[in-house]
Amino acid sequence: MTEPLIFELSSPGRKGVELPECDVPETPLPKDLIRDDLLLPELSEVDVVRHFTRLSQLNYGIDISAYPLGSCTMKYNPKVNEDAARLPGFAYTHPLQGPEEAQGNLLLMFELQEWLKEIGGFAGVSLQPAAGAHGELAGIMMIHAYHHDRKDDRRIKILIPDSAHGTNPASTAMGGFQSVEIPSDDRGNIDLEALRRECDGTVAGLMLTNPNTLGLFDEHVREIIELVHGCGGLMYGDGANMNALLGVVRPGDLGFDILHYNLHKTFSTPHGGGGPGSGPVGVSERLKDFLPGPIVEAVDEGDENRPPKFDLIFPRKSIGRVKAFHGHFGVMVKAYTYLRMIGKDGLRAVADHAVLNANYLRVRIRDAYRVPYDRICMHEFVAEGAWEDAPGIRALDVAKRLMDYGYHPPTNYFPLIVHEALMIEPTETESKESLDAFADAMIKIAGEAHTDPDVLHGAPHITAFGRMDEVRAAKQLVLRYVPKEKNQI
Ligand SMILES: *Cc1c(COP(=O)(O)O)cnc(C)c1O
């Protein structure tokens, strides 16, 4: 970047604010509270506005253009969610205020629990976990607690299909279980024969992402659940892909015992950049007592003259807290607002349009890109970003070139079972025009891969930085400004 940074623009005496005249007697600060070694930049208002506006433009978000990042459900986040989360009664509650002073907040949490129970078909919900992966860990801990409670401690294995999200085996390992990989068959379902071979008395459970990371609904989900229950295991559902199922299928009705929701995916709260998210867990009747607490309970239903009364309680055999205080309350307010806004019919429409949009894109680009599991998909699909007659071009090149066309790249190199994978999830909030524009860009890039491969190898061409060492960029973050010369500040 050539623009000077904010410290380099600093000029002694320059300022951006005029403080009002002091209308109280001046009192000197105690000496030990005064620091004169804080080197703060001195700038005018316009310098500061330009600095932060420029920084904001280096970023990419759903408010700029389509964000087809597979498995992440980057739908548009309605701004009314933000308004609701900033209502002073919500925003200024202190986490240490007791239930009697936070009845409104507890009502909101209670209703959200109830709606998530209804949406997923579950007997209980806890809003504690901070994200999807955290919900998985809570689920694994419940699986452990359930078997232990029955003095069934031989169960050491969690079965995980090879099309699962990477967090599944990670949560399994953190919970002290051994993960056993189950292969997929050639339609992208779990290989039932392989599953049958692993089902025995050492199975604690199976973690199933359905629709899976190929965007496919497992055609044998009932048999899978029967097999796992048949050998005494529990069924964990990774609910990050609930966008495809809302109002259509309830995992609890299928026989899942646990499912985590990603409020920051399915229920339209912003995500990326490390959070905050929210990953509530829903459970079937036999796991209700093990839910992480506290959860909100209506201790008095109320009537016309009396408002209902809520309290925070721990289920009888709770695995305990998994998060400080009550979880990420601001995220809950946003998800609650979204649900209130779209209602029951709106939820069903979300799933219908998410699935329609993904299938529309799949069919529009499948002559230009190989789609290895080319059957009706759910909310996303996986294409291959490589061609035999375009040697040297990889999925990464396609992804980077999409940035030049103004799009965030799709998820790539995941799931691992597809060679040079590009995982595309348009979500329901893109219009037909926007889907067509994206498909046109994809098709153009497939053409360039054959006619002008160097333009792909060099991409992106329009960003402040070109290709980065992505591992180093993620692992060695440089977050502090270091002046080039000492006297620059
Ligand atoms: C996003 C995702 C997760 C993890 O959720 P986080 O909120 O990012 O921790 C787990 N499984 C699937 C399928 C996902 O897409």
Ordered structural domains, the chain, with CATH: 79-341 (3.40.640.10), 349-474 (3.90.1150.10)
Q: How confident is the model at residue 376 (pLDDT cuts 50, 70, 90)?
A: very high
**How does residue 391 score in pLDDT terms, banded at 50, 70 and 90?**
very high
Which ligand 1 atom minimizes the distance to the CA of 71?
15
Mean pLDDT calculated for residue range 112-118? 98
The arithmetic mean of pLDDT across residues 167-189, rounded, is: 95
Band (pLDDT 50/70/90 cuts) for residue 1 is very low
Name the residue at shortest CA distance from atom 6 of ligand 1. 132
Nearest to 72 by CA among 349, 474, 424: 424
Do strands 411-412 and 421-424 pair parallel, antiparallel, or not at all (unpaired)? antiparallel
Tell which phi-psi region holds residue 469, choosing left (phi > 0), alpha (psi between -120 and 50) or beta: beta
Ligand 1 midpoint to CA 260 (Å): 9
Closest CA to 272 of 464, 66, 74, 76: 74
Nearest CA to ligand 1 atom 7: 132
Query: How far is Cα 45 from Cα 444, in angstroms, rounded to an integer?
Result: 43
Q: Mean pLDDT for the chain?
A: 94
- Ligand 1 centre and the CA of 272: distance in Å? 11
Measured in degrees and rounded to the nearest 5, phi and psi for residue 332 equal -65, -40
Of 66-75, 162-171, 239-248, 315-324, the one with minimum mean pLDDT is: 162-171
Instruction: Name the range with the highest mean pLDDT among 53-62, 163-172, 269-278, 382-391.
Output: 382-391
**Strand, helix or coil for residue 261:** strand
Q: Residue 276: which of 216, 219, 200, 329 has the closest Cα?
A: 329
User: Which pLDDT does position 271 carry in this prediction?
Assistant: 86
Q: For the chain, percent helix, then strand, then coil, each to nearest 5?
A: 40, 10, 50
Tell me phi and psi for residue 310, to 5 degrees: -120, 155
- Six-digit token string for 32: 């030990």
Query: Which of 401 and 273 is assigned the larger pLDDT?
Result: 401
Provide the 3-class DSSP secondary structure of residue 295.
strand
Confidence of residue 274 (pLDDT cuts 50, 70, 90): low
> Radius of gyration (Cα) for the chain, nearest Å?
26
Closest CA to 352 of 452, 458, 243, 200: 243
Are 385 and 409 within 8 A, CB to CB? no
Q: Please choose from 127, 162, 167 the residue to mutate so as to test ligand 1's pocket, defined by most ligand atoms within 8 A of CB.
A: 167
Instruction: List the structure tokens of 70.
Output: 């597979």
Read off the pLDDT of each residue in 395-414 and give the average, rounded to a whole number: 96
- What pLDDT does 484 receive? 65
**pLDDT, position 489:** 45
pLDDT value for 163: 87
Could you give the CA distance from residue 170 to residue 165 in angstroms, rounded to a whole number?
Answer: 9
Helix-helix angle 132-149:167-174, to 10 degrees: 40
Helices (H) and strands (E) in the chain, counts: 15, 12
Contact between residue 428 and residue 353 where contact means Cβ atoms under 8 Å apart? yes
Rounded average pLDDT over 188-203: 97
The per-residue pLDDT for 3 is: 60
Band of pLDDT at residue 485, cut at 50, 70 and 90: low
The answer, yes or no, to whether the previous bond of 211 is cis (omega within 30 of 0) is yes
Read off the pLDDT band of 483 (50, 70, 90).
low
| Whole-number pLDDT of residue 81 | 96
**Residue 166: what pLDDT?**
87
Calculate how far, in angstroms, residue 224's C-alpha sits from the geometric centre of ligand 1: 22
| Residue 36 reports pLDDT greater than 90 | no
Burial of 455 from C-beta contacts in 10 A (0-12 / 13-18 / 19+): middle
Write the residue with the smallest CA distance to atom 15 of ligand 1. Answer: 71
Residue identifier of the C-alpha nearest atom 5 of ligand 1: 132
State how far the Cα of 449 lies from the Cα of 457, in Å rounded to an integer.
9
The H-or-E segment that residue 313 falls in is strand 309-313
* Cα(170) to centroid(ligand 1), Å: 12
Q: What is the mean pLDDT of residues 272-287?
A: 90
Ligand 1 centre to CA of 178 (Å) is: 20
> In angstroms, rounded to a whole number, what is the distance separating the alpha carbons of residues 149 and 152?
7
Most informative mutation of 74, 209, 265 for ligand 1 (most atoms within 8 A of CB): 265
Instruction: Tell how far the Cα of 299 is from the centroid of ligand 1, in angstroms.
Output: 34
Sign, Cα dihedral of 437, 438, 443, 444: positive
Ligand 1 binding pocket (C-beta < 6 A) is 71, 131-133, 165, 167, 209, 213, 238, 240-241, 262, 277, 279
In this structure, of 78-87, 270-279, 358-367, the range with the lowest mean pLDDT score is: 270-279
> Cα of 267 to ligand 1 centre, how many Å?
13
Answer whether residue 488 shows pLDDT above 60: no
Beta-carbon count within 10 A of 234 CB? 26
